[in-house]
């Protein structure tokens, strides 16, 4: 849903348009295989090609996964933010390091994915 269709206060001060949210069901995916996709439309435009790899089949002897959630939030730049929880920076860095190492088959995010407090980032001068 576009934010212009949202009631107040979701479209007022401090909020921004989240853009479009796309949902899709992918069928016929095989274990331990690489796939790619794009999203969008002819009227709005298309994303770049995105690639992902499916995890091993159920019953596999090895499945490497990350699970995290409710880690809080903090800025990675010099912006000011409402309700800063600096421990979140070490969590996201550890997740990024594991992903970049190539040792992760799946990621499970269990917890809040949005900390929409009604405040946009305000840069310090």
Residue 30 has pLDDT above 50, yes or no: yes
Range of the domain at 105: 64-125
More confident residue, 120 or 31: 31
Q: Which of 43, 60, 77 is the last residue of a domain?
A: 60
Read off the pLDDT of each residue in 58-71 and give the average, rounded to a whole number. 80
Query: For 84-93, what is each residue's pLDDT tens digit?
Result: 677 778 888 8
Q: How many domains does the chain have?
A: 2
The answer, yes or no, to whether the previous bond of 9 is cis (omega within 30 of 0) is yes
Residue 121 has pLDDT above 80, yes or no: no
Q: Is 34 in the same domain as 80?
A: no
């Amino acid at each position: 849903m576009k934010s212009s269709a949202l009631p107040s206060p979701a479209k007022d001060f401090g909020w921004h348009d989240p853009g479009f949210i796309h949902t899709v069901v992918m069928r016929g995916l095989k274990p331990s295989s690489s796939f790619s996709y794009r999203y969008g439309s002819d009227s709005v435009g298309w994303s770049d090609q995105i690639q992902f790899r499916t995890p091993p089949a159920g019953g596999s002897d090895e499945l490497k996964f990350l699970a995290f959630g409710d880690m809080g939030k903090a800025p990675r730049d010099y912006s000011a933010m409402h309700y800063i929880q600096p421990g979140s920076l070490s969590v996201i860095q550890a997740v990024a390091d594991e992903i970049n190492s190539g040792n992760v088959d799946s990621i499970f995010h269990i917890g809040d994915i949005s900390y929409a407090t009604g405040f946009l980032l305000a840069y310090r001068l």
